[in-house]
Structure 1
Amino acid sequence: MIETVRNAWKVPDLRKKILFTIFALLVFRLGSAVPVPFINTEALANQMTLMSGTIFGLLGTMNGTAFSHATVFALGVQPYINSSIIVQLLTVAIPALERLQKEGGEEGRKKIAAITRYVTVAIGLLQGFGYYTLINSNTYNIVDTTGVPSWWAAIVIILTFTAGSAFVMWLGEQITEFGIGNGISIILFAGILSRAPTMIWSMISGVQTWMKDPTSSSALHPVVVPAIIIGMLLLVVFVVFIQNAERRVPVQYAKRVVGRKMYGGQSSHIPLKVNMSGVMPIIFAQAIASLPATIGMFVPSAQTEGSAWNTFLKIFDTTGIVYIVVYFLLILGFSYFYSTMQFNPIEVANNLKKNGGFIPGFRPGKPTADFIAKVLNKITFFGAIYLSVIAICPLVIGGIIDNSTLAIGGTSVIIVVGVALETVKAMEAQMLMRHYKGFLE
């Protein structure tokens, strides 16, 4: 990976793209440090510390320190991710949108992108209002409206959250167009990494507390830290191995005579990646899993101990069995959904038939499509199980040792490693397009 980045830096065009991506991330981190007006950040930090083991802690991890400090970019890329899920589901359910996506060409894709942006702004308004309701419905005096009407402070806070979310969406699109890799994934990557120093300091503080008072609830045995580090490294190695694994379906091309020359006759293969959907099922699953917390934001009594909404949110705690089961099933479902959106066996079979290709042992047309679909389902199932197990194992371990940081950090590792691999592959693809030989050897 380091060698790929070094080689890409030698190419002027790629160097500009890398610098643009770095500059965009600096802008994102700057916006993540600018607080929204009328908010007492110290009181908010104390409140978020109490929510570290809940789903609000998970939202804070996905959006970085911006969420816990109520900065301009507090909502991060969550509204855009939710919008993308809604639009993709509607594309499958509504024939007009499906035709627009498949037959509309470039103009159709632009219209769908515009719809996604409008839905993002609408969701940003809803989540901004929900977040304001959350921080305004407690006894910690987080919202300071001294000297101004409360309704004016509410409007400023909600619109600032919404504008920040829209800007992050625009920034991600600019990275995708002028930078390296998928902009939204890279911003999510940067947001997760921004909490790494906090997680490391939490482990150090836990060990120090254990040395002073082993019975303390925040104590962490010194042996646990190396075990966590080794476990994370093994997780990274396993994720990299599966991300690069693929099933190669053999393809044979028939010989044909054109004029005096003979074409075809060579052998090839169709590469089917074990984890074809990458990190998207996890991101989508987390977006859906955050819906209870988002709904709870609109209810002032959600933070009142013993209330119905407070009990409901505790059921969906990140270390609770209900959340783990729902999270597992969502990853399975989105893995199949995303692989179906990305790969069409019928279209592949038709293309093979047009080009004189066939899979040995299967007739062209429907038998070939059925075989590819069968192989794809098996591979997708294994990939979905892999993602689900890797995602929930840290949750289970975190619940056993009563450490919410570990529970959230396990999912973060999968996203960070997956985005890093996808970005490196994007660099390699762009270097290959420029015919710079020897860089990938």
Structure 2
Amino acid sequence: MASRADNIASNMSLANFSKATELKKRIWFTIGALIVFRFLSFVPLPGVNPLILGSLYDTARGGILDLFNTFSGGSLERMSLIALGVMPYITASIVIQLAASLHPALAALKKEGATGRQKLNQYTRYGTVFLTAVQGWFLASGLESFGAASGMQAVVDPGIMFRIGAVISLIGGTMFLLWLGEQITSRGIGNGVSLIIMAGIVAQFPTFTANLFEGGRSGSISPVIIIGFIVMVVVLILFICFMERAQRRLLIQYPKRASARGMMQADRSHLPLKLNTAGVIPPIFASSLLLLPLTISQFAGNSIDPNTTMGGFINSLNFYLQHGQPIYMTLYAAGIIFFCFFYTAVVFNPEETAENLKKNGGFIPGIRPGKRTADYLDYVLTRVTVVGAIYLTLVCVIPEYMIAQTGIPLFLGGTSLLIVVNVTVDTISQIQSHLLAHQYGDLIKKAKLKGRLR
């Protein structure tokens, strides 16, 4: 009965889409903001020759740079103003959230409500500027020597002024993306930062598809591998959709209350605990932490003599942490598992939930309200998170390891699919919520109108 009612409500909501003027404005605003993001990805840094840079990047394809390039929508390949994307912001968010869990002063700010969150967001922006400046400096330094061995120069006029100009441009591009994401969240549909990352990944789909079928036509990729890859993508999408909707429902019972007929009835409801409470945050955070040092080391390695101790260390680091290497996959899996538990602990507080249930008179049958309920919620949530962490690790690591072994260009790994599917499902859910709210608003207006006529 519940699923039938949900289907009827969904059909009624879709039927009223043409009447939802506010929702259409939000969708058009989101589309417009994403178009601006795509335009910016084609604006090169001042002082960079895009043609020579494209030729040099083709010779350096593979490894971690392809993953970074995918998340930035090809901006790194073109060395645009938004070449670093929103990754510095994500890394700064990780640092601030970890600090808020460990430092008493930041933990106190976190408990102050909207004012404390605003202060933490301000610290996150400061951290974003700092990390963008550091990455931008090494990026500019690496660009100056990028291609020196082949006699090609990607930078028109190398020097301190180019580095300063590149750092300022990259800071401006990243902060503009951050502002654009906030505007999408407040005035559009969905989470702005997640949508920007998803748009960058989706923008690479045509290139990936063309390369895949071109490889099949030329014989460099076996038709069996292409068919197997397509089947794997379809199965992964279905599996991700199933797991993202999976939840553990805890029965919540409330005291008996008098009904309209004078009978005493006990109210019951359910507390849903999602199998993947953290969503796409763990793979994005884990990727961001790996991308920060590796991007610096790869571009800094171009300006350091490989025969020196430092040059040899950087080359070894870049080799062992290439995409598909066991050490990289191990660190990536460990990061996903860590952030699954960390972010779940951030967004769900068992003590606070147990206290709210106690205030409202609710309890879990067989569990005493208060501390016992909090311990039980923590017990269940920990075991649910274990399953969610295993699911995320398998989805993100195994397909990308297979892609690295088969030699298919890295554009559509498990991480990319997870982000695209998860953000799409979340955005569609928000659209349906807006449609239902609009529908109920119309019903309330009609009821008030009928009441006045009577």
> Could you list the per-position Cα deviations for residues 257-314 of structure 1 after superposition, in whole angstroms to 9, with x for gaps in the alignment?
79x9788721111000001111010100100111331330344456959832112111
- 1:254 partner SS: strand
Query: Which position in structure 2 is the counterpart of 1:418?
Result: 422
**Amino acid aligned to 1:387:** L
Name the CA distance, whole Å, in 2 between partners of 1:239 and 1:7.
Answer: 29
* Residues 49 and 156 in structure 2, CA contact (< 8 A), matched pair in contact too: no
Structure 1 segment 31-70 matched on structure 2, within 5 A: 31-70=40-79
Deviates more, 1:297-306 or 1:423-432: 297-306
Query: Which position in structure 2 is the counterpart of 1:332?
Result: 337
Query: Which position in structure 2 is the counterpart of 1:185?
Result: 194
- 1:220 partner SS: coil
Query: Which position in structure 2 is the counterpart of 1:29?
Result: 38
Query: Which position in structure 2 is the counterpart of 1:113?
Result: 121
* Residues 20 and 438 in structure 2, CA contact (< 8 A), matched pair in contact too: no
Name the CA distance, whole Å, in 2 between partners of 1:130 and 1:6.
Answer: 53
Query: Which position in structure 1 is the counterpart of 2:452?
Result: none
- 1:405 partner SS: coil
User: Which of 169, 184, 187 pairs up with 1:175?
Assistant: 184
Deviates more, 1:93-102 or 1:149-158: 149-158
Q: 2:258 matched to 1:247?
A: no
**Amino acid aligned to 1:422:** D
Name the CA distance, whole Å, in 2 between partners of 1:437 and 1:318.
Answer: 51
> Could you list the per-position Cα deviations for residues 138-197 of structure 1 after superposition, in whole angstroms to 9, with x for gaps in the alignment?
315343335xx7222222222111110110011001101111010000000101111111
Structure 1 segment 25-174 matched on structure 2, within 5 A: 25-103=34-112, 105-138=113-146, 139=148, 141-146=152-157, 150-174=159-183
- 2:133 partner SS: helix
Deviates more, 1:50-59 or 1:268-277: 50-59
* Residues 301 and 309 in structure 1, CA contact (< 8 A), matched pair in contact too: no
- 2:269 partner SS: strand
Structure 1 segment 184-333 matched on structure 2, within 5 A: 184-210=193-219, 219-255=220-256, 265-296=266-297, 297-301=299-303, 304=306, 307-333=312-338
Alpha-carbon offset, residue 38 of structure 1: 1.3
Query: Which position in structure 1 is the counterpart of 2:394?
Result: 389
- 2:266 partner SS: coil
- 2:250 partner SS: strand
Name the CA distance, whole Å, in 2 between partners of 1:334 and 1:365.
Answer: 28
Q: Give RMSD over aligned pairs.
A: 2.5
Judged with a 3 Å threshold, the aligned counterparts in structure 2 of structure 1 residues 344 and 262 are, in CA distance, closer, same or farther, namely farther
> Could you list the per-position Cα deviations for residues 83-135 of structure 1 after superposition, in whole angstroms to 9, with x for gaps in the alignment?
111111111111111111212x2222211111111211111111111211222
Name the CA distance, whole Å, in 1 between partners of 2:279 and 2:16.
Answer: 25
* Residues 302 and 308 in structure 1, CA contact (< 8 A), matched pair in contact too: no
- 2:253 partner SS: strand
> Could you list the per-position Cα deviations for residues 310-353 of structure 1 after superposition, in whole angstroms to 9, with x for gaps in the alignment?
12111111110001111111100000001000111111111111
Alpha-carbon offset, residue 405 of structure 1: 2.0
Name the CA distance, whole Å, in 2 between partners of 1:183 and 1:317.
Answer: 30
Name the CA distance, whole Å, in 2 between partners of 1:26 and 1:231.
Answer: 30
* Residues 144 and 155 in structure 2, CA contact (< 8 A), matched pair in contact too: no
Name the CA distance, whole Å, in 1 between partners of 2:18 and 2:104.
Answer: 45
- 2:43 partner SS: coil
- TM-score normalized with structure 1 length: 0.90
Judged with a 3 Å threshold, the aligned counterparts in structure 2 of structure 1 residues 76 and 394 are, in CA distance, closer, same or farther, namely same
* Residues 173 and 183 in structure 1, CA contact (< 8 A), matched pair in contact too: yes
- 1:255 partner SS: strand
- 2:248 partner SS: strand
* Residues 63 and 75 in structure 1, CA contact (< 8 A), matched pair in contact too: yes
* Residues 246 and 275 in structure 2, CA contact (< 8 A), matched pair in contact too: yes
Give the percent of matched residue pairs that are identical in Structure 1 and Structure 2: 38
Give the number of equivalent residue pairs.
426
> Could you list the per-position Cα deviations for residues 189-227 of structure 1 after superposition, in whole angstroms to 9, with x for gaps in the alignment?
1011111111111112211221xxxxxxxx101222121
Judged with a 3 Å threshold, the aligned counterparts in structure 2 of structure 1 residues 371 and 109 are, in CA distance, closer, same or farther, namely same
Judged with a 3 Å threshold, the aligned counterparts in structure 2 of structure 1 residues 279 and 9 are, in CA distance, closer, same or farther, namely farther
**Amino acid aligned to 1:283:** I
Q: 2:414 matched to 1:403?
A: no
- 1:265 partner SS: strand
Alpha-carbon offset, residue 42 of structure 1: 2.3
Alpha-carbon offset, residue 30 of structure 1: 0.7
* Residues 189 and 415 in structure 1, CA contact (< 8 A), matched pair in contact too: yes
Name the CA distance, whole Å, in 2 between partners of 1:263 and 1:63.
Answer: 59
**Structure 1 residue ranges without an equivalent (≥5):** 211-218
* Residues 27 and 188 in structure 2, CA contact (< 8 A), matched pair in contact too: yes
**Structure 2 residue ranges without an equivalent (≥5):** 1-6, 443-454
- 1:361 partner SS: coil
